[in-house]
Amino acid sequence: MPILTADMTAGTLTTWRKRVGDAVKRGDIIAEVETDKGLIDVEVFTSGVIESILVPAGATVPTGTVLALIREEAGAPLSVAPSTPVEPVPAAAPAERPAPAPPGAIAEVPGRPRISPLARKVAVELGVDPASVRGTGPGGAVTREDVERAAAARLKPPARPVEPPDRQARMRQLIGAAMARSKREIPHYYLGTTIDMSRAMTWLAEENLKRPVTERLLPGTLLMKATALALREVPELNAVGRGAEAVPSPAIHIGVAISLRGGGLVAPALHDADRRSLGDLMTGLRDLVRRARSGGLRSSELSDATITVTSLGEQGVETVFGIIYPPQVAIVGFGKVVDRPWVVEGRIVVRPVLAATLSADHRVSYGHRGGLFLAAVDRLLQEPGRL
């Protein structure tokens, strides 16, 4: 069972994609695991035949538990060690030292470097030849940290010994790997529109005058509610992707991209965003941001988002096109509200406007539907009192 987050201690193996006796090759998906980050495909990094399955479907086991044994064509049984998932996130410990996984998690093929599947996966991602890495693991096995040190040393000759990447650096690395996979496997299409925000901002200022300070609304609340309601009209954008297919979600849980103090990013879910009042959304958003930055997010919040909304307006960015975060099938971006010339009934006036974008999976939706979604967001923001 792979370790997917810093505090993950167990996962549920929901579905086996292979059976005893099936041949597998490197890169094959062998099982689906449900974790606090959602359903994750577990890949194998060796070739052979499945000799035995040790964890039945539906079982929840601690991280580090050996899931199955694979008999390589010419060697002893090799345990399927937890590998880096298709959606890597910061992990607290390398999979090659899990308990109670046996040392068989390390490859034992004669003539090849002793290296764990996780370390081999990282080596592939970083372009490092495992044979060139000096291993510091048990019996000289190459660990993930060994691979990362080799990659860092190759990029910049160190004046002093290279320190292992800190946690923020590892988070960047894992997020980068996830985004690289998303760009590689998901055919993104991109749409953008400019929305007149004058009615929304005027309504917001008047509404906040009526509210006590603890109940004031931020503009982002209006944007998220409009997004959630627009998804009711274009539900295929609010789905969970399974390769080329997607299952629309009955609920709309908006993943809110939150920057962490000191660096890093997390996108926990605001559940049922379409069914909550603006005040309730604002309360939920404040609580989510607080717990995201201080620790204490719930696993459901990390796994339940059906679409992500990102905004870099506060950093002065006018337009942002996001990268889809699997297994979601779309991501919405909002920019900074800026005053711009705007044509109203043939006259040029100044209006506060905002760029709204959609990045979506072309296997699941077409540009026409994406356009309808953005048009719906625009329309909904013209009647903020009805959000």
Partner 1 sequence: MLRVLGEIAPEADLAALKPDVAFRDQLDLDSMDLLNVVIGLHAALGVEIPEADYSSLVTPDGCVDYLLSKLER
Residues that bind partner 1 (CB under 8 A): 205, 208-209, 213-214, 216, 218-220, 259, 261-262, 285-286, 289, 314
Distance CA 88, CA 176 (A): 9
Distance CA 230, CA 226 (A): 6
Task: Tell the smallest beta-carbon distance from residue 89 to partner 1 (Å).
Answer: 22
Place of tokens 């695991």: 33
Which residue lies nearer to partner 1 by CB, 60 or 208? Answer: 208
Task: Tell the smallest beta-carbon distance from residue 290 to partner 1 (Å).
Answer: 8
Task: Tell the smallest beta-carbon distance from residue 293 to partner 1 (Å).
Answer: 9
Which residue lies nearer to partner 1 by CB, 94 or 219? Answer: 219
Which residue lies nearer to partner 1 by CB, 47 or 208? Answer: 208
Task: Tell the smallest beta-carbon distance from residue 219 to partner 1 (Å).
Answer: 8
Task: Tell the smallest beta-carbon distance from residue 337 to partner 1 (Å).
Answer: 11
Task: Tell the smallest beta-carbon distance from residue 198 to partner 1 (Å).
Answer: 16
Distance CA 158, CA 153 (A): 6
Which residue lies nearer to partner 1 by CB, 199 or 369? Answer: 199
Which residue lies nearer to partner 1 by CB, 216 or 379? Answer: 216
Distance CA 194, CA 215 (A): 29
CB atoms within 10 A of CB 216: 15
Task: Tell the smallest beta-carbon distance from residue 338 to partner 1 (Å).
Answer: 15
Which residue lies nearer to partner 1 by CB, 74 or 209? Answer: 209
Which residue lies nearer to partner 1 by CB, 247 or 265? Answer: 265
Which residue lies nearer to partner 1 by CB, 26 or 290? Answer: 290
Which residue lies nearer to partner 1 by CB, 24 or 258? Answer: 258
Stated length of the chain: 387
Bridge partners of 328, per DSSP, are 240
Task: Tell the smallest beta-carbon distance from residue 333 to partner 1 (Å).
Answer: 16
Task: Tell the smallest beta-carbon distance from residue 212 to partner 1 (Å).
Answer: 9
Place of tokens 């390769």: 243
